[in-house]
């Protein structure tokens, strides 16, 4: 497990790919730590922020995985995209953008992937409560409940 700053992320991943053989990006996901209560195990020098982008890398030659964690503040949810290093991160980054609202700078096509294009909000954020959002249908007339 490794921690990286937002500015370094792309460079670190590129270095890991070229120097250490972490040739595949398995997954990009995120965690919203808004309501997390216990102490977060972070190394000294890393300030906890609301979002954490988690990148899982795979090395076929070393037969191992590596987890990179990046702190992303809630008032500025941006993070550099890994598309240039690993094009396979594209769909996962779109998913994180869709469900958490983290904006990946440099992503070629950052649009919603799971939710409809005109959906409001980001469902996996902790302040997006379950079951409280009226189901949105396109072009359906609103009818008062009888």
Q: Which residues bind another protein (CB under 8 A)?
A: 23-27, 29, 31-32, 36-39, 41, 54, 56, 58, 60, 63-65, 67, 86-92, 95, 99, 108-109, 111-117, 123-124, 130
CB of 143 to another protein, least distance (A): 24
Quick one: 6 or 112, whose CB is closer to another protein?
112
Q: Identify the H or E element spanning 19.
A: helix 9-20
Quick one: 7 or 91, whose CB is closer to another protein?
91
- Find where tokens 């250490």 sit: 20
User: What is the Rg, in whole angstroms, of the alpha carbon atoms belonging to the chain?
Assistant: 18
Quick one: 7 or 18, whose CB is closer to another protein?
18
Distance, CA of 138 to CA of 72 (rounded, Å): 33
| Residue 145 CB-half CA count within 13 A | 1
CB of 99 to another protein, least distance (A): 8
CB of 40 to another protein, least distance (A): 9
Distance, CA of 114 to CA of 95 (rounded, Å): 7
Two tokens at 59?
């090395």
CB of 144 to another protein, least distance (A): 27
């Amino acid at each position: 497990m490794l921690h990286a700053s937002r500015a370094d992320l792309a460079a670190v991943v590129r270095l890991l790919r070229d120097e250490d053989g972490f040739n595949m990006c398995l997954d990009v996901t995120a965690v919203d730590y808004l309501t997390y209560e216990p102490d977060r195990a972070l190394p000294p020098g890393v300030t906890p922020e609301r979002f954490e982008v988690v990148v899982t890398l795979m090395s076929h030659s070393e037969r191992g995985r590596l987890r990179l964690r990046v702190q992303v503040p809630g008032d500025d949810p941006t993070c550099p995209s890994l598309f240039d290093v690993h094009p396979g991160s594209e769909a996962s980054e779109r998913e994180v953008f869709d469900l958490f609202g983290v904006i990946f700078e440099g992503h070629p096509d950052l649009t919603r992937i799971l939710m409809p294009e005109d959906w409001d909000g980001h469902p996996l954020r902790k302040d997006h409560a379950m079951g409280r959002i009226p189901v949105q249908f396109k072009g359906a007339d609103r009818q008062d409940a009888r």
